[in-house]
Structure 1
């Protein structure tokens, strides 16, 4: 039987990422796996603005710390015993699929599908789409909320 030992969950504060996180709890419990919760602060999104306002990076770091801290508490309360939090800076596309998945020896990456328009997908591409194409392990892209 296939089982997962190191699960990487990419979260960004979106509802789809929250759905991915919720589903990851059950998968981690079933497999007695380590849950690695990651938030990548996309430096490209505030690089130009940061020259004028240095607090942007600080606010992004605070948001990531709070988001991951709350998710870690929720996962532990649900019975997941091994939970790590990771905050990194860079491009979410490459960091998740290549660097972080290797760093944590992920055998499963879970992420939420993004709500990009057709034009946005064409111009920048979706993070989840890139992860699916570039990852060296299984990928679960969550599009639906878990029903009770």
Structure 2
């Protein structure tokens, strides 16, 4: 029995750990001839409503993330991955990355960095990667950045 991944989600937030996760995801997607879904969820949970979320902050965040993911997309295509999708959404990263998008895409692998950019949230309520490992219904690969880098 050969196990092949066809729909891979990689969570990217601009951290060094997510950059390593992206690099591993590209290699896995290329070897498996899989679709690579680059995803970033802009966290709006701390505001009382989407309207209360400062529009200029939202626009700057969206533009930064879109540019980052499009740069990663170009890198993945150059490395030989034929199918690459860029997904930027607003909401809860923990729920959307571990449950919502994997179901929508029939994902069979989620790749993420061991830690991300939000140290305060990690301290208070646990990391996104920890939640993905606990909640996802597909395989999860958590990437650690090498100590020497």
Same structural fold, with TM-score higher than 0.5 when normalized by the shorter chain = yes
- CA shift digits 1:41-91 (9 cap, x unpaired): 00135669x848430110011011101100000000111001011111101
Change (3 A) 1:53 1:2: closer
- The residue aligned with 1:110 is 111
CA contact (8 A) 2:44 2:53 kept: no
- The residue aligned with 2:75 is 74
- The residue aligned with 1:27 is 28
Q: Note the 1:1-148 alignment, pairs <5 A.
A: 1-45=2-46, 51=52, 53-114=54-115, 121=122, 123-145=124-146
CA distance in 2 between partners of 1:6 and 1:28 (Å): 8
Deviation of 1:98 after TM superposition, in Å, equals: 0.4
CA contact (8 A) 1:10 1:96 kept: yes
Q: How many equivalent residue pairs?
A: 144
Deviation of 1:121 after TM superposition, in Å, equals: 3.9
CA contact (8 A) 2:10 2:39 kept: yes
CA contact (8 A) 2:16 2:145 kept: no
Structure 2 unaligned blocks of 5 or more: none
CA contact (8 A) 2:40 2:89 kept: yes
CA contact (8 A) 2:11 2:39 kept: yes
- CA shift digits 1:71-118 (9 cap, x unpaired): 00000011100101111110100000000111111000000011676x
Normalising to structure 1: TM-score of the pair? 0.88
CA contact (8 A) 2:12 2:39 kept: yes
CA distance in 1 between partners of 2:111 and 2:53 (Å): 35
Structure 1 unaligned blocks of 5 or more: none
